[in-house]
Amino acid sequence: MEAHISFERQRLIGLDAPRPLIISGPCSAESESQVLQTALALKKLDRVHVLRAGVWKPRTRPSNFEGIGSVALAWVRAAGKATGLPTAIEVANSRHVEEALKAGIDILWIGARSTANPFAVQEIADTLRGTDTPILVKNPVNPDIELWIGALERVNKAGITKLGAIHRGFSTFERSKYRNKPTWEIPIELKRRVPGLPIICDPSHICGRTETLQEVAQNALDLNFDGLMIESHVRPGEALSDAKQQLTPEETGQLLSKLVFRHESVTDVLTRTKLEELRERINKIDHEVLNIMAERMAVAEEIGSYKKQNNITILQASRWDEIVRTRLEEGQEKNLTKDFVMKLFEIIHRESIEHQSRVMNE
């Protein structure tokens, strides 16, 4: 389905949003001095554009710290004033929106749990109507791009055009090196479906720990994201929420200075020709991949009709096991990751089964 979203790319935080836009600050506002000290230290880096802080925290379990609440709004606002940085907080219902706007907070974001709930998003959107507050919409906790786009559409329909998306990863049942798996194909698909919509990556909530932040932040820039949201706290060890993933402002500065910024397009003629040549090779290879897949499915259909004549089931566990084993082995020799080869053959096999079923049930 087509996405119906109109936005003003350059107006996310005023007339000329810097790129990449860096949003940083504590997961939660915990005390007036914690917010102020963090903000001042971040300002000193001279590369942070927006101060973030959570005032109301949607926590998975009720025993976790749920934020200071309304009184913290004034602390965030004061830290913004002291540093000259625009401020951003999360809102989850219409009371939050009203109080945040009254307190003079500049940018609001809708958290991952709220994006997954169309009632909450609609309530927020209705309360925003008539304002021109910049709104950032985090991806829903589950990997559902329609929910993400739907939330952006609801906010946009309420007349908000200073819009952006935040990619914070997706929760999974399985154990993974990430707190929330990045599943980069989803924000990439969002870019394709809503061209030009600013997308900011939140490596802090993707990683859940500090060790992998650099790598994920760099991945996001290499995928041409428009900015980063990084949680930063003057004393991460004492943080009341998300302690393991927060950096000190100085560490945030180090992370930012180690990032490599690359251009989306090349202006130099020689580099461009070389790139075009390589892309042409990729085009040919993809063409071959599709031909080979079509050929494989044609053979699968022949197998289907053979199995039909001889009354044999489509799936034979031992054959699938043999395919997995041999392909993984061969993939390893060819320097392809196990994960990739496994996923590749899972979808090839699923498609083969569909072709066979079609023939068998004709």
| Interacting residues toward ligand PEP by CB under 6 A | 27, 54, 58, 90, 111-112, 138, 168, 205
Among 97, 140, 242, 331, interactor with Mn ion by CB under 5 A: 242
Q: Which stretch binds Mn ion (CB under 5 A): 4-12, 37-45, 111-119, 236-244?
A: 236-244
Judged by beta carbon, residue 123 or residue 242, the one nearer Mn ion is: 242
**Phi then psi dihedrals of residue 97, to 5 deg:** -60, -50
Rounded least distance, CB 72 to ligand PEP, Å: 13
Residues with Cβ within 8 Å of residue 7, at least 6 apart in sequence: 156, 161, 162, 163, 164, 196, 197
Rounded least distance, CB 168 to Mn ion, Å: 9
Nearest to 64 by CA among 95, 27, 118, 94: 27
Rounded least distance, CB 309 to ligand PEP, Å: 55
Contact 23, 49 (CB under 8 A): yes
Rounded least distance, CB 247 to Mn ion, Å: 12
Closest-by-Cβ residue to Mn ion is: 27
| Site for Mn ion contains 27 (CB under 5 A) | yes
Size of the site for Mn ion (CB under 5 A): 2
| Site for Mn ion contains 55 (CB under 5 A) | no
Closest-by-Cβ residue to ligand PEP is: 111
Work out the number of other CB atoms within 10 angstroms of the CB of residue 173: 5
| Max CA pair span of the chain | 80
Distance CA 304, CA 300 (A): 6
Q: How many alpha carbons lie under 13 Å from residue 362 in its C-beta half-sphere?
A: 12
Task: Give the DSSP H/E element, type plus range, for residue 307.
Answer: helix 269-310
| Site for Mn ion contains 153 (CB under 5 A) | no
| Site for Mn ion contains 90 (CB under 5 A) | no
Name the binder of 256 from ligand PEP, Mn ion, none, CB < 5-8 A by kind: none
Site residues, Mn ion (CB under 5 A): 27, 242
